[in-house]
Amino acid sequence: MNRQNILSDLLTQLETITTDNGYSTDIGANASYWDVYPDDYAGPPTVTFCDRDEDSEKVNRYYNQTLHVEITAIAYTTGANKLADSCNLLADLLRATVQTRWTNYANIVRPVSNSKEIEGKGKQAIKVILNIDIEYREDV
């Protein structure tokens, strides 16, 4: 088991975030690893993630690893719907990554923090950022 297995599983799980799968949004239709979007992004709703860093602690013959991941979802809304739409984005991210068992490699997936941004250049863009810690164990 390694970091790449977990990140590949995370991408697959984020791709399940569609209304056909019972989620509130379709951000999973455009899921990717480590993409950067400009402030005036005008494309379809999307979700991207990056693995920032990792902590290690040796315990007996194993290393307990904590992988810190940032997940960013971007979608458009109207002024009247921005509260509900931003909450739905966050709820979909939490359901897909924290509340659902999506990998056999991780021991624990824990939400650490989240934030929301609203931008209004032409359309109202919602950006939701969820930071999670993924804990797993590797043999020495």
Provide the residue ranges of all domains of the chain, joining segments of one domain with +.
3-139
- Which of left, alpha, beta for 100 (phi over 0: left; psi -120 to 50: alpha)? beta
35 vs 134, residue with greater confidence:
134
CATH superfamily of domain region 3-139: Phage tail protein-like (3.30.2000.10)
Contact, 107 vs 135, CB < 8 A? yes
Query: Model confidence at 23, in pLDDT bands (50, 70, 90)?
Result: very high
pTM, two decimals, is 0.90
Confidence of residue 77 (pLDDT cuts 50, 70, 90): confident
